[in-house]
Amino acid sequence: MRIGRWTVVGVAWLAAVAAGVAAAAEGEPVLDRCLVSLEEEAKVPAREAGVLIRLAVREGDLVSKGDVIAKIDDNQPQMERRKAKAEHDQALAKAESDVDVRYSQKAQAVAGKASEKAEQSHKSVPGSVTDVERDRLRLEWEKSGLQIEQAQLERRLNDLTAASKGVEVEAAENGIERRLIKAPLDGVVVQVFPHQGEWMQPGDPLARVVRTDKLRVEGFVDASKWGPDKVRNRPVTVAVTLDDGPQEFAGRIIFVSPLVESGDYRVFAEVENRQADGEWLLQAGQTVTMTIHSKQAPLPPASR
């Protein structure tokens, strides 16, 4: 039989808990009326202005971190990407080509031979090649050497141009990526704000996602009985009575307040939630009993 929302088993379990609290006065802290709250939640914002062309979630949907939940019109950055990609490919082709360098090197070799032959002819038959002609041929040989340097400089400039165009491609791709709105965490969508087809501004909230596999339990410890060193990083057991009877959840203390108020200090525990028939058993807003296993060794500090 049921008494309101409580089962007979639940009532008996509560009586056992009450007896346990008295017995634990000199043992482990048992905190009554601890509040369950969300440990992690996020209002997912739009990062770029534009028309919301796809909305892939609704209230109650489960999402994983990185899932695309909405998309803003990205036609403009798509066109910018295609343009930047074409210019990047063109710049790469120029940077990879060494035709001008090889041509300049061959031209220098030919000019050098012509100048050398003119000098030999002049030595063999003085006056056979005029001074002006020999100066001109020498100048052509020196000029071809400078053309090699110029061609090498052009290749380096083409490399820099290709790198610059590559950055433009990345910028366009980033613009496309910023128009994909993704879930920032694993959780449940509890609220969707806009409708598909609406105009979004940067910062406008699109959806609220809350994490449900881990929850926070807040309680207060009697500072006169248990010092912070007795509870910090200790494992905990959270107990609550639901329609199906009593349930227990494992967790650990992740925060101990350095402040004592009205004789108590506040602690937070991170608790692993679980499901039954597709529903999460522990829910934000519930009031639970938490036992801190102060006699057990502390756990390693929780990673952030």
The structure tokens 């343009």 sit at 83
Which of left, alpha, beta for 46 (phi over 0: left; psi -120 to 50: alpha)?
A: beta
Q: Which stretches in the chain have pLDDT values below 70?
A: 1-26, 95, 97-102, 104, 107-108, 111, 114-115, 118-119, 122, 129, 137, 141, 145, 304
Same domain, 194 and 151: no
Q: What is the pLDDT of residues 189-206, one digit of tens each?
A: 999 999 999 999 999 999
Same domain, 103 and 247: no
The neighbouring-strand residues paired with 3 are 6
**Residue 223 falls inside a structural domain:** yes
* Two tokens, residue 213: 């596999």
pLDDT of residue 20: 44
Same domain, 57 and 118: no
**Residue 224 falls inside a structural domain:** yes
**Residue 266 falls inside a structural domain:** yes
**Cα–Cα dist 204/200, whole Å:** 6
Same domain, 14 and 88: no
Which amino acid appears at position 158 of this protein? N
Cβ density class 99-131: b for 16+ within 10 Å, e for less: ebbeebeebbeebbeebeebeeebeeeeeebee
pLDDT of residue 10: 38
**Cα–Cα dist 189/35, whole Å:** 22
pLDDT of residue 239: 96
**Residue 19 falls inside a structural domain:** yes
Write down the H helix ranges in 178-216: none
- The pair phi, psi for residue 141, each rounded to 5°, is -65, -45
pLDDT of residue 46: 96
Same domain, 267 and 222: yes
**Cα–Cα dist 263/224, whole Å:** 7
- For the chain, what is the domain count? 3
**Residue 92 falls inside a structural domain:** yes
The neighbouring-strand residues paired with 237 are 250, 291
Q: What is the pLDDT of residues 23-75, one digit of tens each?
A: 443 589 999 999 999 999 999 999 999 999 999 999 999 999 999 999 999 99
Q: What is the pLDDT of residues 247-262, one digit of tens each?
A: 999 999 999 999 999 9
Contact 248, 233 (CB under 8 A): no
What range defines the domain where residue 263 resides? 2-40+211-292
**Residue 34 falls inside a structural domain:** yes
pLDDT of residue 122: 61
pLDDT of residue 163: 86
Strands 214-222 and 199-200: unpaired
CA-wise closest residue to 61 among 249, 187, 200:
187
Sign of CA dihedral 144, 150, 156, 162: negative
pLDDT of residue 160: 84
Same domain, 173 and 124: yes
**Cα–Cα dist 122/117, whole Å:** 9
Same domain, 85 and 155: yes
H/E stretch holding 49 reads none
pLDDT of residue 4: 36
The Cα angle at residue 302 between residues 299 and 304, in degrees rounded to 5: 175
pLDDT of residue 128: 72
**Helices (runs of H) and strands (runs of E) counted in the chain:** 4, 18
Same domain, 170 and 96: yes
* Two tokens, residue 130: 């005029």
Residue 54 sits in a domain whose CATH number is: 2.40.50.100
**Residue 298 falls inside a structural domain:** no
pLDDT of residue 279: 86
**Residue 297 falls inside a structural domain:** no
Same domain, 215 and 202: no
**Cα–Cα dist 48/41, whole Å:** 22
